[in-house]
Structure 1
């Protein structure tokens, strides 16, 4: 079993080895794949299990709750015990949970299996981000995170369309069997490519959850956490409501719904690619701020359209613009957030992901309150989440002037030909404080 850390890549190297990036993307896809692949089968599942639409949506809610809690656990464990073993254990449990879900005879057992799927799938998402943070930083991290999120966008682009054809051929249980096969491929890829990136010397000492306490003391990091959670609420609100919006309200078939959903995800992929190319050229916060503002504007437009009683089909371009804008948010927000807590990136990634899926679980419940008759709950959730994201972005603004910016003034005051003495409380130029985030050229 691999234990030694490979040589770390320089923050200026621009990225990770392609095969490692592909495997990390595959591990990160477990959440979107397990969320989106079975969405077209929602109506069939409701009929087969004899439940209403909110009952089927509960399987999605259970998965998202498990993802939120699981990320907190696996993030803390990976900071203390390394990345490789927790990731292997989590993906292995996900395989077993996928088999249980495919065999579930009742809604109750299916919900329990989906909860276990979410708990174990969290390992792939949180530890993949931590491995990236271990290997690259600064503008390179923004670029890699944007590419990672773009590659992860393949899952929502392909999953609903693939799920519609799989469910037509093999039923909703066949869709869940495909998830089990996907998890087996993930485990194999991880064993072949992933190596330990968090050496023993860098691991946390003390209480298991102590890292979460450390990251919770950083206000700017918490602002990015709130922003990421709110925008993920937008994404999950669209995902969880989309089967009924497109099929029940707009009257499209499952196959056409899959095409529309794939188009939305392709928009997010395109924006993610553009975002990765902007990294290092345009400050990440500027890109993030524009994307958050656009998200709020489109969400407000959606609310106005719904209240105006316009045909449901007008929501299609709004949903496309919303999902596309998120491609500019996810990579930049993740990179900026983890730059604040590089020394405990596993716990930072865990809190970031936990907030995202916690907000996603709440959004999935709220958008289903109107059943299949109205999109008003969806429009309200999108607008409220986008407003919270804008407020969180404003809260992350840097208001304190760093100590280093006073150095030129100190040099002006120094006698000609003499070297200025460093301030007593200032760290050496080549030794930043251990609890301070690394300087980020992407800002």
Structure 2
């Protein structure tokens, strides 16, 4: 027996609906109904969130099945292709579905594709390069428009097994029901979060008192629960009440919450468009709140290169942390670099670590040498007078005082409502057995 590795990507639309994970669920159900035995767990692999042509979460799926021979693989591939052709939102000009099949001797992702996966996770990949690699591996591919989905489908197959350490349970309603809130009981979501946290996460935003498990778009996802423990994910789902029919359900393993999309750079000069980076430097210009209530400041690295950094309005109170920065503060930022002409080059902030605070000083009237009360100036060159005891003194000078800072050292992330799929949540420090330094106050 051999293993057929199936990758599917780019079948959904921001405004017409559908979801690649839903098509993955349809494929899995159809193939198992035809007698193809699955091996391993279905995988949902999130790719570069800064990629300009992505549709919504930029996620591709990887499914695996036992087959007898290449003829068997061809029949399986035809079934997958037919399902994608039927359900993908081909009317959306941004949707560009692709299907890939690789036949291997085992269930593990091909090592030859690991570098390809990392390129698709952290940068951009050319379709012609993808097809050359696929041809060398003896794989099959099908696409319905420009072929961009082939890239994500290959990357999903190539993601190392250890890259997907979180489970995501996805419950689906019938496709085509339109936009709007799902009939999910909010109180039950709160209970599920309290019962299963931290082994599930981002179920509920306690800052803004709103559930996060259910999307609002036109896709068929009814709700999703994610976390590193499969049992906790199932427990969370069992606790949530929904007032509609669940059409089907599938649990994926995923690279959610891994932070694996981030590139560490030594200098701002190394920035490349459509990447998510981590940079260290000092604040060189005091933050300002611009139009749209977005917050902007400037970062300077050790080599003197500078870049604008933005904390956008959807990150809500996270912007207050950015507003508390001062020139001279040493910080480490994580964010995506997506050029938006004619705006200046900007890193969109996803995480902020305050490493060192500059000491701020100001001047204050001196204390009265007789009673200790704060004195008042009598005018330029006229000295000071104590309003309490009346003592006057022309020889006194203003005192230098330290100004308290509004923020502290620590690591700060936006509220859960603004997390990306790949953003490493504060709860990860508990899963990984390390002390958390995340601060969100």
TM-score, with structure 2 as normaliser: 0.25
Higher-Rg structure is 2
TM-score, with structure 1 as normaliser: 0.25
Q: Pick the structure with more helix per residue.
A: 1
Q: Pick the structure with more strand per residue.
A: 2
